[in-house]
Structure 1
Amino acid sequence: MKVVTTEDLINIDKKTIEKIPSILLMENVASEIFYLLLKRHKKLLYKKTVYIFSSVGGNGGDGLAIARYLIKNNCNVKVYITGNLDRVNKDTYVNFNILKSM
């Protein structure tokens, strides 16, 4: 196992985004997490409300994309966004607008 510093992780992230668009990475993360949730908690997903708390930063877009997958699959979802929407990350904004239109 290799341990990386915060600075290392930031550099890895930058290099990855140079090769793969960040919006595509976000979509892939959301898809994988949705299917993992489905695999582990299928009964609960359809019986309970899923609460998603997302910020306006880049990681917040992952949460919004996951919410989209859940809604698309008929789960009851409540989404809360923290932060100033005037300062929203561009990919998070894309997911925010898609989610609003659903």
Structure 2
Amino acid sequence: MTQTSQSLQCSSRSDVPFYMKTDSLQDKHDCIGDVRGIGLFIGVDLVTDRTTKSEATALAIHVKDRMRDKRILLGTEGPKDNILKIRPPLTIQPDDVDMIISTLDHILNERF
């Protein structure tokens, strides 16, 4: 098995829990309007109101900056930059997934 195919095999083991764990944050945080993605590429849509789907641009920038303070890099996307773009490396391990989810959960609980 080549190193590339080993990395892809690790990716396929990690992506389902990562998506499911990210999706589970939506139940805990009203500011998450939607979680979508494929494989390890995940988008978390931050909103000020789930009903109207008003974009939470300031919150997305705050979360991105706070995650960077914790040495976790994510980006923002979308017309109003309110979608957190999570693209971990293919070599991500389950402990890394838990740490990212836990940190994101903690930051979303902070008063903004």
TM-score after normalising by structure 1: 0.31
| Structure with more helix by fraction | 1
TM-score after normalising by structure 2: 0.29
